[in-house]
Structure 1
Amino acid sequence: MSIEVLLVDDHALVRTGIRHILDEAPGLTVISEASSGEEAVEIAREKQPDVVLMDVNMPGIGGLEATRKLAHVAPDVKVIVVSVHAKDPYPSRLMEAGAQGYLTKDCSGDEIIAAVKKVHAGERYLAADIARQLADSLLSGGKGTPLDQLSQRELQVMLMIIQGHTVQSISDKLFLSPKTVSTYRHRLFQKLDVDNDVGLARFAIRHGLLDESAMDSPPETQ
C-alpha cells in the first residue's frame, strides 16, 4: 500500500519540487497540498494522510501551531518538519509539539524519501545536524538561550508577532482573547528583556528566528 503524503508550504515552487521527488519514489503518493497551517489541519482531518511534510513559517498560525493541533485532531498522522530553520528553538519545540521528524530544506531528495518511510514505520527521523544540536542541548541541560524559558504558547505568540500579526489577528487565529494575547506579549518583553515589537524582532534576528531583511518592515503589533 502506498504511503499517502500531504505537502504543506506557502511557496508553490517548493511544493512542486518536493512533489516531483515523491512522485518519482515507488510506494509514495502525494494526495494533497496546503499553503497554510489552517489549511493543513483541515485537509489532514478530512483525508487522514499517513505523513505530513510541514513548513514552519507560513501565513496564519504557522507550522508550530499546526503541528500541535494535528497531534490532537489527527493523532495518527505523522508530521515531518521541512524548514530553513536548523537552530533551536525550532527543532526542539516542533518535536515537543508532536513532530516525528525534522529536515532542513537543503536536504537531498533521497533524505526526504528516507524520512517519510522511516517516520511512517514508526521511527523518528532527524537530519544529522539537528540530531547533534538536540543532543548538545540535552547534555547542557537545555538552557542555552533566553528562548528556553518561553512556554510553547509564548513562543507561538512571539513567532506571530515577528511575522507582523496584530494582537487582534493573533487572537482570532489562536482562539485567545486579545487581553490574553497582550499578556503573553508583555511576558515576552519581560523574559527577553526587550521594550517593544521592534526590539522583539531584533532579538529574533540575533537568534536566527527572523531574516535581517524583515527589519525593513518591522512588526507593529497593536
Structure 2
Amino acid sequence: MINVVLVDDHELVRTGFRMILQQQPDIRIRGEAGSAEEGLRLIRTLAPDIALVDVHMPGMSGIELTERVVRSKLHTHIVIVTVVDDARFPKRLLDAGALGYLTKGCTAEELLAAVRQVASGRRYLAPAVAQQLALATLDGSDSPFDTLSSRELEVAMMLVRGKPLTLIGEQLNLSPKTVSTYKQRLMEKLNVDHVISLAHLMAVHGLIDTQAQHANA
C-alpha cells in the first residue's frame, strides 16, 4: 500500500488529486494540508511514502518543505506538482531532493504513474519537463540562480515574501547574522541590490509567479 499526503493551498486541487488517487486499490490518502507548515507536521507524524506538494503556497514554500524533509532524513519522497514548467525550476527542486516533478496539467494516468514510480524509489519527471531539462543541458542555457546554493535559494524565496531576517533565521535555525551573510552573498551573485529587484528576477526565471511578485512589491 502506498500512503500519500496532499499538500496544496487550493482545496479544489487537493479534491481532484484525492478523487483520482483514492480509487486505486494500492494507494491510500493518509492526510491533507493547506500549507507547507501543516504538511511538514503531517509528514513527521504519519511518515507517508509520498507527499504531493505544491511549490507556491503562503508561508513556507514547496522547496523549503522539500529541503526540510531531506535534511531530517524522513522516509517520505516528495513529488512536486505545480503550474511552473520552466526547466530551471525543476532542476533546483530535484537538486534540493524532490524525487518527482509534475505540472498541474498532467493526466490522471501520469499522476498515478508518478506516484507509483517514486514510491518504488525511482525519479519521475513529466515528459515535457524532462525534455526541457535535456534541451537546457544541450544548449548550455544557464539561469543566474544556478550559481546559488540550495540554502541561498531558500533564503531568496523567503526574502521575496517579505520575511525579516530574524524570522528567516528562526525558521532555518540560523543566526540573523548568518542569514544576512546569505542575503549579501546571493544578491552579489545575482547582481541585484534590492529585494524588489530580486523578486522581479525570480519571476522572470519562473521561480515565483508574477502574482506573488506583485503582492510583495
Cα distance in 1, alignment partners of residues 51 and 212 from structure 2: 28
Cα distance in 1, alignment partners of residues 62 and 139 from structure 2: 27
Cα distance in 2, alignment partners of residues 73 and 191 from structure 1: 28
Query: In the alignment, residue 113 of structure 1 is paired with which amino acid?
Result: L
Query: In the alignment, residue 165 of structure 1 is paired with which amino acid?
Result: K
Query: In the alignment, residue 190 of structure 2 is paired with which amino acid?
Result: L
Contact 2:160 2:213 in 1 (8 A): no
Cα distance in 2, alignment partners of residues 30 and 57 from structure 1: 22
| Residues 96-124 of structure 1: CA deviation (Å, up to 9, x unaligned) | 22211100111112211111111112222
Query: In the alignment, residue 41 of structure 2 is paired with which amino acid?
Result: E
- Scaled by the length of structure 2, the TM-score of the pair is 0.91
Moved over 6 A (4+): none
Task: State the Cα RMSD in Å.
Answer: 1.9
SS of alignment partner, residue 163 of structure 2: coil
- Matched residue, 2:98: 99
- Matched residue, 2:19: 20
SS of alignment partner, residue 173 of structure 1: helix
- Pick closer, same or farther for the CA change 1:140–1:75 going to 2, 3 Å: farther
Query: In the alignment, residue 180 of structure 1 is paired with which amino acid?
Result: T
Superposed displacement of residue 35, structure 1: 2.3
SS of alignment partner, residue 162 of structure 2: coil
| Residues 29-64 of structure 1: CA deviation (Å, up to 9, x unaligned) | 101112222322222122111111111122333211
Cα distance in 2, alignment partners of residues 215 and 78 from structure 1: 29
- Pick closer, same or farther for the CA change 1:61–1:211 going to 2, 3 Å: closer
SS of alignment partner, residue 216 of structure 2: coil
- Matched residue, 1:90: 89
1:211 and 2:191 correspond: no
206-215 or 186-195, larger mean C-alpha shift: 206-215
Contact 2:52 2:80 in 1 (8 A): yes
Match of 1:152 among 144, 150, 169: 150
Cα distance in 2, alignment partners of residues 79 and 205 from structure 1: 23
Structure 2: any 5+ residue segments left out of the alignment?
none
Query: In the alignment, residue 108 of structure 2 is paired with which amino acid?
Result: G
Contact 1:61 1:174 in 2 (8 A): no
- Give the share of equivalent positions with the same residue, in percent: 45
- Scaled by the length of structure 1, the TM-score of the pair is 0.89
- Matched residue, 1:173: 171
Cα distance in 1, alignment partners of residues 85 and 145 from structure 2: 15
